[in-house]
Amino acid sequence: MGPLLSAATEGAGPEPAQIAAGEIAERVKAAGVVGAGGAGFPSHVKLAAKAEVAIANGAECEPLVHVDQELMITRAADVVRGLRLVMQATGAVRGVLGVKRKYTRALAALRQALDGSRDITIHELGNFYPAGDEQVLVYDVLGRVVPEGGIPLNVGAVVHNIETLINIGRAVEGIPTTTKHITVAGDVPRPITVQVPVGVTIREVIGLAGGARTPDPVVLNGGAMMGSLVRDLDEPVTKTTKLLLVLPHDHYVSMLRRQSPAEFTRRAVSACDQCFMCTDYCPRHALGHAIEPHKLILLLGAGVPVTDPQLAAAFLCCECRTCNYACPVHLVPGNIAIHVKRELQKAGLKNPYHRQTEADPYRDLRRVPINRLIARLQLSQYDVPAPLTEVAHPFRRVALRLRQHSGVPAQPLVRVGDRVTEGDLVGEIPPGVLGARVHASLAGVVREVSDRVVIEAE
């Protein structure tokens, strides 16, 4: 089996103007590019749609993550090139780089890369959480409210993450997505941002930062606000892993995030005084959407079952946990909203809310400054630089999940014992469904094919 896409072609591809619009989406599909900052939505699907404005999401608001800031500083020209490819593929007449005002080095690098060109502008954002939420970003940049349950395309916008834009540029040059940039932050000796092969273990990546400084650490994959608890440090990193936050076992955030749904619901039902602060600070509620976390607690407290349609506004939760920050008595209404949403999904219910809404006129007064959020989360001591650092790649084994994206898992194309080289296609999108290709991130022999493909170096 030969490589379908070769790393040797990097830098040799044509400039955006020379590529047909449809060809861009095809190459991005071939390269297995998915959204690098969130749920891993397959990027070729977004590129096949038509949009008026293409927005680069450089807000990077999750506390302690540095990936996009570092990439905007070091790879500004590639970010701009990726955004131009998105504009060309979608027919967008405008490009906007949405970047926080405080990221001064990134802004300087991007301005230099733009070199006075007018097709792309920079929109400076305030230092709030969650400025990087797609719908919040679209409203901040364009003043347009995405309807309930909708996507930015509903209001003419397409949004791509910074690393995704770089991967789109590489895909057009024939290079598949086989690496990931990740920040390791928290209780480690050397907070760091690194580029590693997809499929190496979380333990190995934390090792690049010197390993956990604390016995029995708690690791949040994605960070204190949006991240999920890592159950096994030998889990592989995927195309969407962005921040590994290492915390002491008894840290405030560790303890809150280890609570079971039964435990945090019981506490909320018994202690919530319906003060409304959580709903007041909810960024989706501030866009006029029907989500009201305090009401979910009220209904659960009244004995309404978690899968009852009366709780269906939880479908509109973007899982940012801003409402946890807002609660004066340290309850976790965001965890409750997320739990209810998952239970409704498991029960097969669908979101019934699809209104076009208007933003709350007081929205700007209810935004969460990042510095205050970091202090509230008791993370100030970990708020230090995590510079992008070249690391040797001593990795001998990768485990490539066949589903590391939205949609259905890729179908394996290899068998145990096959030899592969880096960039070989090992998982294909099944016909007619949403999915993304998977490529070998290491040369070696296939040792396992299950819901993942394990490759060991020879």
Binding site for ligand SF4 (CB under 6 A): 268, 272-278, 282, 284, 291, 293-294, 297, 317-323, 326-327, 329, 331, 333-334, 337
Cα separation, 17 vs 119, whole angstroms: 13
Residue 61 CA to residue 326 CA, distance in Å, equals 17
CB closer to ligand SF4 out of 89 and 320:
320
Q: Do 426 and 414 form a contact (C-beta atoms < 8 A)?
A: yes
In the complex with ligand SF4, which residue's Cβ is closer, 329 or 416? 329
To the nearest 10°, report the CA torsion of 147, 130, 253, 400. Answer: 80
Pick from 295, 345, 280: nearest CA to 149: 345
What's the DSSP call for residue 258? Answer: H
Tokens describing residue 207:
């090792």
Give the nearer residue to ligand SF4 in terms of CB position, either 70 or 319.
319
Shortest Cβ 358–ligand SF4 spacing (Å): 17
* Residue 298 beta carbon to ligand SF4: minimum distance, rounded to whole angstroms: 8
Are 420 and 426 in contact by the 8 Å Cβ rule? The answer is yes
Please tell me whether residue 406 adopts helix, strand or coil conformation.
coil
* DSSP per-residue codes, 310-362: GGGGGGG--S--HHHHH-TT---HHHHHHHHHHHHHHTT------------TT
DSSP-derived letter for residue 149 is T
How near is the Cβ of 220 to ligand SF4 at its closest, in Å? 15
Nearer to ligand SF4, 236 or 334 (CB): 334
| 328 CB-side CA count, 13 A | 6
* Cα–Cα distance measured from residue 217 to residue 259, given in angstroms and rounded to the nearest whole number: 16
Q: Which is nearer to ligand SF4, 42 or 130 (CB)?
A: 130
Q: Which is nearer to ligand SF4, 203 or 366 (CB)?
A: 366
For residues 220 and 257, the answer to whether their CB atoms sit within 8 Å is yes
In whole angstroms, how close is the CB of 73 to ligand SF4 at the nearest point?
A: 29
> Residue 115, exposed/middle/buried by CB under 10 A (0-12, 13-18, 19+)?
exposed
In the bound complex, what is the minimum distance in angstroms from residue 280's beta carbon to ligand SF4? 8
Write down the least CB distance from residue 206 to ligand SF4, Å.
27
Closer Cβ to ligand SF4, 102 or 366, answer by number: 366
- Paired tokens of 285: 């509620």
**Closest distance of CB 328 from ligand SF4, Å:** 6
Residue 8: DSSP 8-state: G
Please identify, using beta-carbon distances, which residue of 175 and 338 lies nearer to ligand SF4. 338
- Residue closer to ligand SF4 by CB (options 217, 334) is 334
Task: Give min distance, CB of 370 to ligand SF4, in A.
Answer: 15
What's the min distance (Å) between Cβ of 320 and ligand SF4?
A: 4
